Structure 1
């Protein structure tokens, strides 16, 4: 497989309808927000989880496309696979979290094995020094937190369950709180939703770090497929309807790049759609209703005097 030789930067634009795109466990699973601006947040970890899940579905059990960080996995067991492949059953130097400092060649073989066999190690990198030490790798693909383009207003929705958990709960419900009331065995609960939110995340792909992990052109296409389709296989009542709306990729002519990423991202303009004209979100237009659909926005790219040596790829 051919290792990538071009630098890439990309913007992922996705939305959520009546769902919780990324709950905060420190806040009762409320949708994450920036407290100063009330703009919604989705962590890079959440997005990478969805990419891993898609790759596992699309290339399950294929050689070279295993997933290192997966639910319920024991990482030391996966690290041990590298030692078994390189040393046979000799794991003495692998116990205690230390590689043999006098054998750099063997250490590199262990790390290379992990990169070769696990897509997410090859893509995102990993710290693989958890007891059975296979070193650590900085991956070529890095992602930022996603942030909503406008403030969001999380809603707390009360829900009920008609069934009882056990006999005691059923009996208590049948008796009621007093002689004049019955609870019908209902159990109350809550869920949190964002009525609508449009989010943008930025990504960066380094050809130089790809040389170290072996991240290939085939891996790149799989990553882009995952970014386009990952929400299609992540449906749940909690997350509502989520979809990738735009995937804008900036391809540089060389490995080091032809323009700073922030300059390229600044060329992406997202504004309100008013009579098919784009209006800046911060323009404080009178009588502007809250957005409730992607059609309430326009996503545009300023192509005038665009930096030389950078190709714009609109994959969605």
Structure 2
């Protein structure tokens, strides 16, 4: 079980792709109509993490597994494969349940685990535009045998997204989450947003991880700063409209408010891990060694592998 509370900030950008389509609205990118900010659900992010963890050789419970007849196995059927529904066996083998928890409402053998790791919805740090892309397919459909069919899909030209998360040391007791699990999760988060099969598709291709920060609090500190995502912003030229942004190098990331909060509570922080893409530009005073001044600051260990 983990002994230290953690907070996470994760930034990634999307170019000419759909970061998280809404199946109830023509699979359009999810937009806050009042602010024109683009949203990505926590479930979308967890799916990326799960898929990358599976590629890393970890066992995942929330997965697609098909029977001999081609139909997907139900949760009930998957559960029975773990010593006929032994929850301790599931926790022992499945890293995603240790991380994110799960609810198993199956007959008299119901059980619910609160996930120690929780993420808020990701939000773009600027307004975004949604574009409808139209085209045609070469192969005709059954109804239109003499010609190809029309196709259309939605993208955003560009968006920089920020996710905020927390790992609760108290909840880790129930799911048996370990420090090693969290290290694997951060690796899957960084690598998966770019490399997993799920994001290398026609609608998703164009994701790049830009900055990942993990703040580890001292053991016994029942404290976290909170709302880290509201302490970051972008600094762009006044003449550059939000909807015209097309690249990470067109603006700077401003971490000055994060710096104020961190320095105010630095006595409660044990260590900070980070990973930053070389194309990210930070405002003056927002360099990571300044934001986390007088705090142990190290790159994630898995970067050295």
Please indicate, yes or no, whether the TM-score normalized by the shorter chain is above 0.5: yes
Task: Report if the CA contact (8 A) 1:208-1:256 is conserved.
Answer: no
Cα separation, 1, equivalents of 2:180 and 2:51: 18
Q: Give the structure 2 partner of residue 122 of structure 1.
A: 98
- Cα deviation per residue 1:101-135 (whole Å; 9 max; x = unaligned)? xxxxxxxxx33222112111111000012347251
Give the number of equivalent residue pairs. 259
User: Which aligned pairs between 1:154-173 and structure 2 lie closer than 5 A?
Assistant: 154-166=130-142, 169-170=144-145, 173=146
Q: Give the structure 2 partner of residue 190 of structure 1.
A: 152
- Cα deviation per residue 1:17-47 (whole Å; 9 max; x = unaligned)? 0000110111111100111111001111111
> Residue 250 of structure 1: which of 215, 219, 244 is its match?
215
Residue segments in structure 1 that go unaligned for 5+ positions in a row: 60-64, 86-109, 174-184, 275-284
Cα separation, 2, equivalents of 1:132 and 1:12: 39
TM-score normalised by L of structure 1: 0.76
| 2:297 pairs with 1:297 | no
Cα separation, 2, equivalents of 1:68 and 1:47: 16
Deviation at 1:253, TM superposition (A): 0.6
Indicate how the Cα distance of structure 1 residues 76 and 34 shifts in structure 2: closer, same or farther if over 3 A, else same: same
| 2:62 pairs with 1:69 | yes
Cα separation, 2, equivalents of 1:217 and 1:259: 18
Task: Report if the CA contact (8 A) 1:76-1:132 is conserved.
Answer: no
Kindly indicate whether structure 1 or structure 2 has the higher relative contact order, using CA contacts under 8 Å at least 6 residues apart: 1
Q: Give the structure 2 partner of residue 214 of structure 1.
A: 176
Cα separation, 2, equivalents of 1:287 and 1:11: 26
Cα separation, 2, equivalents of 1:142 and 1:255: 20
User: Which aligned pairs between 1:93-242 and structure 2 lie closer than 5 A?
Assistant: 110-131=86-107, 133-166=109-142, 169-170=144-145, 173=146, 185-231=147-193, 232-233=195-196, 234-242=199-207
Cα separation, 2, equivalents of 1:193 and 1:132: 45
SS of residue paired to 1:261: coil
SS of residue paired to 1:244: strand
Cα RMSD between the aligned structures?
Answer: 2.0
Deviation at 1:288, TM superposition (A): 4.2
Cα separation, 2, equivalents of 1:136 and 1:258: 25
Q: Give the structure 2 partner of residue 49 of structure 1.
A: 47
Task: Report if the CA contact (8 A) 2:221-2:268 is conserved.
Answer: no
SS of residue paired to 1:37: coil
Deviation at 1:83, TM superposition (A): 4.5
Task: Report if the CA contact (8 A) 1:18-1:194 is conserved.
Answer: yes
Task: Report if the CA contact (8 A) 1:17-1:195 is conserved.
Answer: yes
Indicate how the Cα distance of structure 1 residues 288 and 253 shifts in structure 2: closer, same or farther if over 3 A, else same: same
Find the structure with the greater CA-based Rg: 1
Indicate how the Cα distance of structure 1 residues 193 and 266 shifts in structure 2: closer, same or farther if over 3 A, else same: closer
Task: Report if the CA contact (8 A) 1:8-1:251 is conserved.
Answer: yes
Residue segments in structure 2 that go unaligned for 5+ positions in a row: 65-71, 277-305
Moved more, 37-46 or 231-240: 231-240
